[in-house]
Chains A and B, each alone.
Chain A
Amino acid sequence: MMVSPGYAVYPTLVFIFFIIFPAVVLGDASDYEGKPIARIVFVPREQPVDPEELHRILPVKERTRLRLDDVRAAISRLYATGTYADIKVDAELRDGEVILRFITENNWFIGRVAVKGQIKSPPNAGQLANASRLSLGEVQTDDKMSQAVNGMQQLLKSNGYYESHVEPRFTYDPRANQVRIDFDVETGRRARYAAPTLVGDLKMPTEKVVSATKWKGWIFGWKPVTQSNTQRGLSNVRKKYQSKDRLMARITLDKIDFDEDTITARPVLNIRPGPKVSIMTVGAKVSRGKLQRYVPVFEEHSVDGDLLVEGQRNLRDFFQSEGYFEAEVEYKSQKVVNDKEEIDYIVNLGKRHKLVKVDIEGNHYFDTQTIRERLFLLPASLQYRRGRYSESYLRRDEETIANLYQENGFRDVKVTSTVKDTDLANRSQLAVTIHIEEGPQWMISKLEVDGIQQLDRKTILAKLSSTEGQPFSEFDVAEDRDNILSEYFSQGFPNATFEWSSKPGPAPYRVELRYTISEGQRRFVREVLTSGLVTTRAQLVNRNILLNPGDPLSQPKMLEIQRRLYDLGIFSEVNTAIQNPDGDTQNKYIIYQMDEANKYSIATGFGAQIGRIGGGTNLDAPAGTAGFAPRVSFDVSRLNFRGLGQTLSFRSRISNIEQLGLISYTVPRLYDIQRLTLTFTILYDDTKNIRTFDAKKEEGSIQLSQKISKANTALYRFTYRNTSVSALVIDPLLIPFYSQPVRIGILGVSFIQDRRDDPTDSHKGIYNTVDFGFASNVFGSQSSFTRILGRNSTYHPIGKKLVLARSVNFGWLAPFTHQTQNPNLVQAADVYSGAALEDIPLAERFFSGGGNSHRGFPENQAGPRDSGTGFPVGGQALLFTNTELRFPLSGTTLGGVLFWDAGNVYSRLQDISFRSSQPHQTLLMTTNGVTAPQEVFSFNYVVHAIGFGIRYRTPIGPVRLDLAFSPNSSHFGGCAGYSGTQLLQCGLFNPDGSPLLPRKNDRINPFQFHFSIGQAF
């Protein structure tokens, strides 16, 4: 906030005035002692502390007698509020009474810190602001300012700006005692490196070291100085020495000499190469890669006792994980001889074991499974072929079990173990038995809670775990402490404390508990101050501020506000702080400082699709061939459109099987309702992912999304699209409706219930979706039908490692009207195969199969096919089930699945069949007056596929490769030839009854592979 200079300087003027015309310096104060106080005046009159609070905290009051001790206390109390830089008190006698004046100078608190000027990154403005180390809400002092300027200049220097100039500018907001600090930065020219000066015994030619820095480029000579270039240069030199086995090499940057005439910076490197270090293992073979992983000397670039011991421990753990449970590792370091130091890890492997059994006995309170799932020891399994065992693991497990019991009141529990080693034909098998002596369970006989005064006692007591009749454990007490304090913190008691004590109860193994709460002073919100809004409208931010003046100062609410502001998606940074946090005042300002994100977000991507997507319109391969489709995408979004947090986006994707362009306009929080989002979309999509035709879609839609709860979302939408079909590889004359552009107007509702633990790799939970669409001529649709598509998926953990996942998909397209089929054109074979359906336009039908639906099919290859060409024509119903067993293969990153997919796309709902063999028969076909027999297939049966897949875990979801085998994959008839003029000849006969194009009975390859990211469902 800019303020007029007159107003801003007023308090300062008054203060200066009192300095120029001082009252007698510390007058004879005792003259005033005991005199009645007529009036208390503050200079300046406007004080930073809330007037009501000021009156409350001041120990001196009007109409009382003056005590100098009270004046002293008043100064202390006022200063403790943190809002004053200086306080003086003067007094004046008037008619035997005292007029007391508090002359104050206010503190200013740091508000927004911004950096301005022509700054060529690095460093960027944000980094410079961070380098100032000025914290939001803290007192601004001269020391902090000079520290800030120094910090920024240091950062600029380390990035080659040696002639920079940093000047702070202040804008005061007296209402909130806040100061906005803008740093004007002039960077000047960035220096370039000059040949570094090397100090020390290099042990290699100078030019090699200089070259290793990579500070000099091939084309443009010496590179510009940046902090990262400098650090990288040092690191490169260190690596160079390490590659020569000088693991202890120390490379430090002593200084950088700047030459202002040439604007160059000459680094001075101090190099201490150290001796050549050779690390080897004796007694066991360990690859160099493993040595580097387990012996931290390589990573820390230093050889010392601690690191060598850590390496010793790591190696021992490694050998133990390999079944050498008794492995011992020691290191031996030899003195440096001839510039060489040898370090040997001496390994005594001992026998190799296998942990075959872990038994638990003596447990009554907890069942064995509850204990077992907490253990680190693991008997041999597919994942751990020799089991997991070591002495330290065993100790750790004993401790874990003891803790579990102690947490539940068994204070005297004892956990011991015995290990039995059996030798079977040179194979040692270990069996561990863990013995538990539970002892008595201590219970709480009485709980007293003292000190709850300002909050609701019942609410707090309801949160406690340690109540009468419950087991006594310190773990529960700690939990109660956290719950109580968290309740207090959220209600504005930042200084609340909790103490507890216990004493023996009236009966054995009974405890009387006492909690003592000290609430401390309650803090309230004085006002919420926001800054940093440039294009964003204040109303958008204010709607998300949940705290109002007078509310308890709640830290959780402050963080909730910060989260909500981040969730708007328009701020790159939202900082929050309490102004003057340490000041002893009851009412506090809360500050939110926001940095608006870039208005435009641009993303480009390159990728490829691999699968059975190839084959073009070659009639030889109706089921597709393995293909590769490179893909380019370009997305641009205008964020925070109109300053209201709305988003205008353009997305595009171009590959040889799809060209897509999409413009969307998203209005989040419609009518200020957090859960409603409105989206307008215009789409152009030309796709060839169904092999039978190219579908060109022009679509406009409007969708309202309603977040009903955390798990449930409803979507309401209306879509209007014009779909045209081209490159049709089936006979267009056979089904004319197929090949014409179709307009569809469809009103839809979707419901999504997502209770999965992790959407990208679920281990437990449920996922349900139902999508209902209604297309009618009322909406301008040329075809009228209803569309239902539902999915139910559940995920069940089996033990700690296995997951059983299952899913059912069901879809039904129900036409309102039936097209009349031309009896002259429709063959019995087309009816039998399901190809002759005209009720639903081709592009609206269900096409399915592939990596995310049924892995026994290539992409979109399930269901009915054209009897002539063999290409898929889609269906009006679908039913799929998928079942997967997911299990770990190696560690936590590599996993495997066994799956079984079943189902198909069916001609109509009534055609859904559960038979597993494909129906087929030989029918007489008549074309051009010639009748000939032809074998035709029906596709209304369940196709099964079993298979195996591997998953490699990545941050964006598992990378997936699935291999499927379908024993009853679909057979179909087709032509051998090419599209174009020959297309019409497919399925026709010569006068002698032979087909015009050679007929070929084909089959979808029973073996399919799918490569993708994310689980199948």
Chain B
Amino acid sequence: MTPLLLLFLASIACRAEIIDRIAVTVGNGVITESEILREIRLTAFLNGEPLDFSPVVKRKTAERLVEQRLIGNEITASLYALPSAAAAQEMLKQIKDRFPNPTVYQEELMRVGVTEDELKAHLTRQLATLSFLDFRFRPGIQIGDDEIGKYFSERLAPELKKAKPDGEFSLSDFRAQVLEALIGERMDKASDAWLKQARDRTRIEFRADVFASEPPKEASK
């Protein structure tokens, strides 16, 4: 009985193709391998880079998706407002504008193997993430004048001097820019700390077999 069964299974296995599988588990949720590949394609499209499905890139992409998933979970649980469809449409328009004409844009989409709908959904997720970070971490950040002054004198002014040795630079001209930079740094720090905590309290498991080998080129399309 058992050999027959094994033979049967072997015949099935040889003809079938795996079309998707779990790549990472995040709490009760999963990120499938196809999601990682799609993310790689979308990133390649947005950055105008060649497709790279190497294990290293897959892992890196998976890490990013894990962070997005943790943020997504928080957005759902805490009922944060989602970005409007118009905002995503506007962002899509900006991306389209980067291309000389719609045909090139469509060819590029085809090259990486994604649809416009997938791109739009990706942009919506990105906007949601940015909006969450802004809502969550910006209000708590307080920047003092001394910090602004220190940043200007120790970090920005030397850079400016280097770029334009004869120029005269005053803090008042760059105050808003410095403030934004400092807020950005603080937000990064705060969001990193939050993500670390979220990772610590969530069971996250990367499936070794997904990240061990590079899929054949024809399969990765």
User: B214 CB to closest chain A CB, in angstroms?
Assistant: 9
Can you sample 28 A-B contacts with CB below 8 Å?
A: A17-B10, A18-B9, A21-B9, A21-B10, A23-B13, A23-B14, A23-B17, A24-B216, A24-B219, A25-B216, A26-B37, A28-B17, A28-B221, A29-B19, A30-B221, A32-B19, A68-B34, A71-B34, A72-B32, A75-B20, A76-B29, A79-B22, A79-B28, A79-B29, A88-B18, A91-B16, A91-B19, A92-B16
**205-219 of chain B: CB within 8 A of chain A:** 207, 209, 213, 215-216, 218-219
Q: How far is it, in angstroms, between the C-alpha of A87 and the C-alpha of B209 when the chains are bound?
A: 13
Q: How far is it, in angstroms, between the C-alpha of A80 and the C-alpha of B20 when the chains are bound?
A: 16
- Taking CB atoms, residues of chain B closer than 8 Å to A18 are 9, 13
B binding-site residues for A, Cβ under 8 Å: 6, 9-10, 12-22, 25, 28-30, 32-35, 37, 113, 207, 209, 213, 215-216, 218-221
B31: nearest chain-A partner, CB-CB: A76
**54-92 of chain A: CB within 8 A of chain B:** 68, 71-72, 75-76, 79-80, 82, 86-92
- Taking CB atoms, residues of chain B closer than 8 Å to A72 are 20, 32, 34-35
A binding-site residues for B, Cβ under 8 Å: 14, 17-19, 21-30, 32, 68, 71-72, 75-76, 79-80, 82, 86-92, 99, 101, 582-584
Other-chain contact of B20, A21, A29, A82 (Cβ < 8 Å): A29
Q: How far is it, in angstroms, between the C-alpha of A224 and the C-alpha of B185 when the chains are bound?
A: 58
- Taking CB atoms, residues of chain A closer than 8 Å to B9 are 14, 17-18, 21
Find out whether the CB atom of B6 lies under 8 angstroms from the CB atom of A17: yes
Find out whether the CB atom of A75 lies under 8 angstroms from the CB atom of B22: yes
Other-chain contact of A27, B10, B12, B219 (Cβ < 8 Å): B219
Find out whether the CB atom of B28 lies under 8 angstroms from the CB atom of A92: no
B21: nearest chain-A partner, CB-CB: A88
Q: How far is it, in angstroms, between the C-alpha of A375 and the C-alpha of B108 when the chains are bound?
A: 78
Q: How far is it, in angstroms, between the C-alpha of A88 and the C-alpha of B209 when the chains are bound?
A: 12
Find out whether the CB atom of B37 lies under 8 angstroms from the CB atom of A86: no
Find out whether the CB atom of A29 lies under 8 angstroms from the CB atom of B29: no
Find out whether the CB atom of A28 lies under 8 angstroms from the CB atom of B219: yes
Q: How far is it, in angstroms, between the C-alpha of A40 and the C-alpha of B12 when the chains are bound?
A: 14
Pair count A-B, CB < 8 A: 110
A-B pairs, top 6 by smallest CB distance, nearest first, are A27-B17, A88-B21, A90-B16, A29-B19, A21-B13, A92-B16
Instruction: Name the prevailing secondary structure of the A interface residues.
Output: mixed
Find out whether the CB atom of B28 lies under 8 angstroms from the CB atom of A91: no
Find out whether the CB atom of A75 lies under 8 angstroms from the CB atom of B13: no
With A17-B13, A22-B13, A86-B207 given, is the CB distance from A582 to B28 under 8 Å? yes
Other A-B contacts than A26-B19, A29-B20, 12 sampled, CB-CB below 8 A, are A17-B9, A17-B10, A23-B17, A68-B19, A72-B20, A75-B20, A79-B25, A86-B22, A89-B18, A91-B16, A92-B12, A582-B28
- Taking CB atoms, residues of chain B closer than 8 Å to A583 are 28
Q: How far is it, in angstroms, between the C-alpha of A584 and the C-alpha of B213 when the chains are bound?
A: 32
Q: How far is it, in angstroms, between the C-alpha of A62 and the C-alpha of B25 when the chains are bound?
A: 27
Find out whether the CB atom of A88 lies under 8 angstroms from the CB atom of B22: yes
- Taking CB atoms, residues of chain A closer than 8 Å to B6 are 17
Other-chain contact of A29, B12, B13, B34, B209 (Cβ < 8 Å): B34
Q: How far is it, in angstroms, between the C-alpha of A80 and the C-alpha of B22 when the chains are bound?
A: 12
Q: How far is it, in angstroms, between the C-alpha of A167 and the C-alpha of B12 when the chains are bound?
A: 39
With A26-B215, A88-B21 given, is the CB distance from A101 to B14 under 8 Å? no
Instruction: Name the prevailing secondary structure of the B interface residues.
Output: mixed
Q: How far is it, in angstroms, between the C-alpha of A90 and the C-alpha of B18 when the chains are bound?
A: 4
- Taking CB atoms, residues of chain A closer than 8 Å to B32 are 72, 75-76
- Taking CB atoms, residues of chain B closer than 8 Å to A99 are 16
With A23-B17, A79-B25 given, is the CB distance from A30 to B113 under 8 Å? yes
- Taking CB atoms, residues of chain A closer than 8 Å to B28 are 79-80, 82, 582-584
- Taking CB atoms, residues of chain B closer than 8 Å to A25 are 18, 213, 215-216, 219
Find out whether the CB atom of B13 lies under 8 angstroms from the CB atom of A27: no
Q: How far is it, in angstroms, between the C-alpha of A194 and the C-alpha of B25 when the chains are bound?
A: 49
User: B215 CB to closest chain A CB, in angstroms?
Assistant: 5
B213: nearest chain-A partner, CB-CB: A25
Scoring B32, B209, B215, B218 by chain A CB atoms within 10 A of each residue's CB, the highest score goes to: B32
Q: How far is it, in angstroms, between the C-alpha of A409 and the C-alpha of B104 when the chains are bound?
A: 70
B27: nearest chain-A partner, CB-CB: A582
User: B58 CB to closest chain A CB, in angstroms?
Assistant: 11
Find out whether the CB atom of A21 lies under 8 angstroms from the CB atom of B21: no
Find out whether the CB atom of B30 lies under 8 angstroms from the CB atom of A68: no
User: A27 CB to closest chain B CB, in angstroms?
Assistant: 3
Find out whether the CB atom of B18 lies under 8 angstroms from the CB atom of A23: yes
- Taking CB atoms, residues of chain A closer than 8 Å to B25 are 79
User: B122 CB to closest chain A CB, in angstroms?
Assistant: 14
- Taking CB atoms, residues of chain A closer than 8 Å to B21 are 26, 75, 86-89
Find out whether the CB atom of B13 lies under 8 angstroms from the CB atom of A71: no
Q: How far is it, in angstroms, between the C-alpha of A29 and the C-alpha of B21 when the chains are bound?
A: 12
Scoring A17, A26, A27, A29 by chain B CB atoms within 10 A of each residue's CB, the highest score goes to: A26
B33: nearest chain-A partner, CB-CB: A26
Find out whether the CB atom of B207 lies under 8 angstroms from the CB atom of A92: no
Other-chain contact of B30, A19, A28, A75 (Cβ < 8 Å): A75
Other-chain contact of A28, B10, B16, B22, B218 (Cβ < 8 Å): B218
Other-chain contact of A26, B12, B13, B34, B113 (Cβ < 8 Å): B34
- Taking CB atoms, residues of chain B closer than 8 Å to A24 are 17-18, 216, 219
User: B60 CB to closest chain A CB, in angstroms?
Assistant: 18
Q: How far is it, in angstroms, between the C-alpha of A565 and the C-alpha of B102 when the chains are bound?
A: 73
User: B114 CB to closest chain A CB, in angstroms?
Assistant: 11
- Taking CB atoms, residues of chain B closer than 8 Å to A14 are 9
- Taking CB atoms, residues of chain A closer than 8 Å to B34 are 26, 29, 68, 71-72
Find out whether the CB atom of A68 lies under 8 angstroms from the CB atom of B20: yes
User: A94 CB to closest chain B CB, in angstroms?
Assistant: 9
- Taking CB atoms, residues of chain B closer than 8 Å to A68 are 19-20, 34
User: A970 CB to closest chain B CB, in angstroms?
Assistant: 79
- Taking CB atoms, residues of chain B closer than 8 Å to A30 are 113, 221
User: B204 CB to closest chain A CB, in angstroms?
Assistant: 12
- Taking CB atoms, residues of chain B closer than 8 Å to A19 are 209
Q: How far is it, in angstroms, between the C-alpha of A76 and the C-alpha of B14 when the chains are bound?
A: 26
User: B9 CB to closest chain A CB, in angstroms?
Assistant: 5
User: B56 CB to closest chain A CB, in angstroms?
Assistant: 17
Q: How far is it, in angstroms, between the C-alpha of A29 and the C-alpha of B33 when the chains are bound?
A: 11
Q: How far is it, in angstroms, between the C-alpha of A19 and the C-alpha of B19 when the chains are bound?
A: 15
